[in-house]
Structures are given as structure tokens and as C-alpha cells.
Amino acid sequence: MERTLIILKPDAVQRGLSGQLIARFEQRGLRIIGMKFIAVSRELAQKHYAIHEGKSFYEGLVNYITSGPVVVIALEGTNAIQAARNTIGATRPNEAAPGSIRGDFAIEVGRNLVHGSDSPENGLIEIANFFNEPELVSWARSTDSWIFE
């Protein structure tokens, strides 16, 4: 089982898309193990996006993710990283396939609605950055055997 951190970014919350976007991950079959509605501090934003420090869009990116409340979600499942990234769609919404979140709801890279971890290792690191251990729930979903073989 892999774990991935999903963030519904401030544009998703402001546009009232949170419910629809959560539904897409649920219907994909990924199991929610943590979820909360928070304001991201600048410090946490800088930590989360440290890999992009120095890039031309870095300042704008930190401003974007701290510009309003977000929903952070920890998901678990087989191939959770790739499954979630496919559900999210390509980084640049103009290149994202229709049917993906970005392909259906977004148009610009700086307002691309959702974050998803890019590797199993980063999934664990990013979840630990946003959640305390007691905020993560280990549970058996009654439908698990119909979703995971």
C-alpha cells in the first residue's frame, strides 16, 4: 500500500469544488486515512515546496498555497501515487486529459487546483509534514476487498 498527500488548493476551496474533488478520489477507490481544513503557514508552505526554491514561480507558488484555506487529505491504496496523479492530471492544465481534475476544471498552471505527491517516499514525508500521527486513522473499509484484490 502506498500513501499520498493530496491538497485541495485555495482555488479549489474558493470555487466550491472541494466536495466534488474529494468524491473523485473516493470513487477511484483510494482510502482516506486523514483529512482536515487548514490555513497553510508560510513556514509549512516553504517546507512543502522546498524542492522548487529558486525557480521563477516559487514565490508565486508559496503566495498561492497560503492565500486561503485548503483541504489536506492523506490517501492510501495500491499504486496510490500514480492513481492519484492520473486522477489529478498533467501539471499544466492545458495539457491535462479531459476526465482528469485539471483537464475538467482548470486552465492555468498557477491555478491548477490540486497537489498530489510524486513518489512513495515523498508521500510519506509530505503526510508527516501536514499530519500528526493521531490525526491518521488506520481502518478497514467494508468495501476494501471489492477494490483491492
Q: Could you list the residues that contact ligand IDP (CB under 6 A)? A: 52, 57, 61, 91, 109-110, 112, 115, 118
Q: Do the Cβ atoms of 116 and 84 come closer than 8 Å?
A: yes
CB 118, min distance to Mg ion, A:
5
Q: How many residues bind Mg ion (CB under 5 A)?
A: 1
- Give the integer Cα–Cα distance in Å for 38 and 49: 17
24, interface contact from ligand IDP, Mg ion, none, CB < 5-8 Å by kind: none
Catalytic residue among 115, 123, 126, 131: 115
Taking the least distance from each CB to Mg ion, the nearer of 39 and 50 is 50
Binding flags for Mg ion, 90-129, as an x/- string (CB under 5 A): ----------------------------x-----------
Residue of minimal Cβ distance to Mg ion: 118
Q: Kindly tell me the burial class for residue 54, based on how many C-beta atoms sit within 10 Å of its own C-beta (0-12, 13-18, 19 or more).
A: exposed
Rg for the chain, CA atoms, rounded: 15
Q: 35: helix, coil or strand?
A: strand
In this structure, what C-alpha cell is assigned to residue 119? 513518489
Q: Which residues pair with 8 in a beta bridge?
A: 71, 114
Task: Look up 48 and say whether it is catalytic.
Answer: no
37, interface contact from Mg ion, ligand IDP, none, CB < 5-8 Å by kind: none
In this structure, what C-alpha cell is assigned to residue 95? 495539457
Active-site residue numbers? Answer: 115
- Positions in the binding site for Mg ion (CB under 5 A): 118
